[in-house]
């Protein structure tokens, strides 16, 4: 392992140092009560910072490098695989249903630079087979530069109504699946001094009503990555968090088969609830969750480009961020991202109010208020 010199560190952090130096002058403008000038100065500073950072960014050479991605059947994983192939990476695309139309289309469009790998992240044997598959291809040369833990499933329902089986099932996919894949591939990543990208969610930073099983799995994923990031520094490995906002309507996580799965889960919750719980909540309120899901789909962005751009930066930027919080909304203001950022300084009583007011479905919240 090699240590980074002071000069190299300063060069990589030059943009951040310059940005902080500019911010040092802000109190002067505020003291003059020149609000307009202050806002203009902040805007120019942020714009200049982003432009300069992009200009000075140093990219990692991709020749001979491979990336393993989980959850490539559709959505983010599928789009990322295509992007990385276009950049010159060899991609191992983990697919739960490798023979389905989406996986076959991915293989056909990317040619020999992409290998579809059967993968069930909740199965130890499936993950072990995937590692063997990757090692077999790497015998011809090159290295495994990155692992992207993208596979996951959404689930909705009141915390009290979610069954223990549902809690365990989604923790096994969303959380332990990430741990299982990461542990299996880490020896290869350590040798290449590469990258681990763990896709969590904005809900790994802020809890919203009727998402307990999903949110706790994402919070756990954040904690795992935070610890692993520090542990892996000694090996030269960078661990990066990708925290997408409301992109559920842009991916397939809230559509088709996934939507039917979520409906079945709601039925299971209701059937296994005690008569007392059923009476207190009411069937209409419980199943109104699906209305909230449809509502969320309608506010999602039209493109996954912001997420894919962030993931690309995490893999090819010589000095990537440790976490990428990506706003996902077709509204003027992204409520999720705004509340996450404000949550750093606001007390819980305020953030709870904002969550209840802006992140609880407008179709469900009145029903909850009526029951109080």
pLDDT at residue 205, rounded to an integer: 95
- Residue 333: predicted pLDDT: 79
Shared domain for 42 and 92, answered yes or no, is: no
Torsions phi, psi for 264 (to 5 deg): -65, -40
Tell me whether residue 286 is in a domain: yes
- 1 inside domain: no
- List, by residue number, the catalytic residues: 214
Are 50 and 184 members of one domain?
A: no
29 and 85 together in one domain: no
16 with 123, same domain: the answer is no
3-state DSSP assignment of residue 195 = strand
The answer to whether residues 154 and 221 belong to one domain is yes
Residues 34 and 74 in one domain: no
Same domain, 16 and 142: no
Q: Do residues 223 and 133 both lie within one domain?
A: yes
pLDDT at 1: 45
Domain count, the chain: 2
Contact predicate 66/133, CB 8 Å: no
Residues 80 and 127 in one domain: yes
Q: Which two tokens stand for residue 239?
A: 């661990």
User: What CATH number has the domain bearing residue 203?
Assistant: 3.40.50.720
> How far is residue 272's CA from residue 351's CA, in Å, rounded to a whole number?
33
Distance CA 282, CA 356 (A): 20
pLDDT score for 255: 64
Flag whether the pTM goes above 0.85: no
Residue 166 lies in a domain: yes
- Output the tens digit of pLDDT for each of the chain's 372 residues: 445 555 555 555 555 666 666 666 666 656 665 666 666 666 777 777 666 666 667 899 999 999 999 999 999 999 999 999 999 999 999 999 999 999 999 999 999 999 999 999 999 999 999 999 999 999 988 999 999 999 999 999 999 999 999 999 999 999 999 999 999 999 999 999 999 999 999 999 999 999 999 999 999 999 999 999 999 999 999 999 999 988 876 776 666 677 889 899 999 999 999 999 999 999 999 988 887 777 777 777 788 999 999 999 999 999 999 999 998 877 777 888 999 999 889 999 999 999 988 888 766 766 766 666
Instruction: List the domain range (segments joined by +) for residue 49.
Output: 6-56
**Residue 295: predicted pLDDT:** 72
Please tell me the distance from the alpha carbon of residue 260 to that of residue 264, in angstroms, as a whole number: 6
pLDDT value at residue 39? 63
Does 153 reside within a domain? yes
Give yes or no: residues 176 and 311 share one domain: yes
């Amino acid at each position: 392992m090699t240590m980074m010199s002071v000069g190299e560190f300063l060069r990589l952090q030059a943009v951040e140092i310059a940005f902080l130096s500019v911010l040092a002058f802000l109190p002067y403008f505020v003291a003059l009560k020149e609000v307009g000038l202050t806002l203009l100065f902040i805007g120019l500073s942020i714009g200049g910072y982003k432009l300069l950072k992009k200009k000075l960014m140093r990219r990692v050479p991709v020749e001979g490098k491979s990336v393993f991605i989980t959850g490539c059947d559709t959505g983010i994983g599928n789009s990322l695989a295509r992007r990385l192939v276009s950049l010159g990476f060899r991609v191992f695309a983990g697919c739960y249903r490798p023979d389905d139309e989406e996986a076959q289309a991915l293989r056909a469009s990317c040619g020999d630079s992409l290998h579809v790998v059967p993968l069930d992240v909740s199965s130890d044997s499936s993950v072990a087979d995937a590692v063997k598959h990757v090692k077999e291809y790497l015998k011809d040369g090159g290295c495994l530069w990155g692992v992207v833990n993208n596979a996951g499933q959404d689930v909705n329902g009141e915390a009290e109504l979610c069954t223990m089986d549902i809690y365990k099932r989604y923790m096994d996919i969303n959380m332990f699946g990430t741990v299982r894949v990461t542990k299996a591939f880490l020896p290869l990543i350590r040798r290449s001094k590469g990258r681990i990208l763990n896709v969590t969610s904005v809900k790994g930073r802020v809890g919203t009503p009727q998402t307990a099983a999903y949110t706790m799995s994402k919070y756990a994923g954040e904690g795992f990555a935070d610890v692993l990031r520090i542990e892996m520094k000694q090996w030269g490995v960078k661990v990066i968090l990708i925290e997408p906002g409301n992109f559920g309507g842009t991916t397939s996580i809230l559509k088709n088969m996934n939507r039917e799965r979520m409906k079945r889960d709601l039925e299971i919750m209701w059937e296994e609830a005690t008569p007392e719980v059923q009476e207190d909540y009411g069937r209409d309120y419980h199943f109104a969750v699906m209305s909230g899901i449809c509502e969320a789909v309608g506010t999602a962005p039209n493109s996954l480009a912001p997420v894919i751009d962030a993931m690309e930066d995490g893999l090819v930027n010589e000095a990537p961020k440790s976490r990428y919080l990506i706003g996902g909304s077709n509204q003027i203001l992204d409520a999720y991202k705004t509340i996450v950022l404000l949550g750093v300084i606001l007390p819980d009583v305020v953030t709870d109010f904002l969550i209840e007011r802006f992140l609880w479905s407008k179709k469900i919240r009145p029903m909850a208020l009526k029951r109080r």
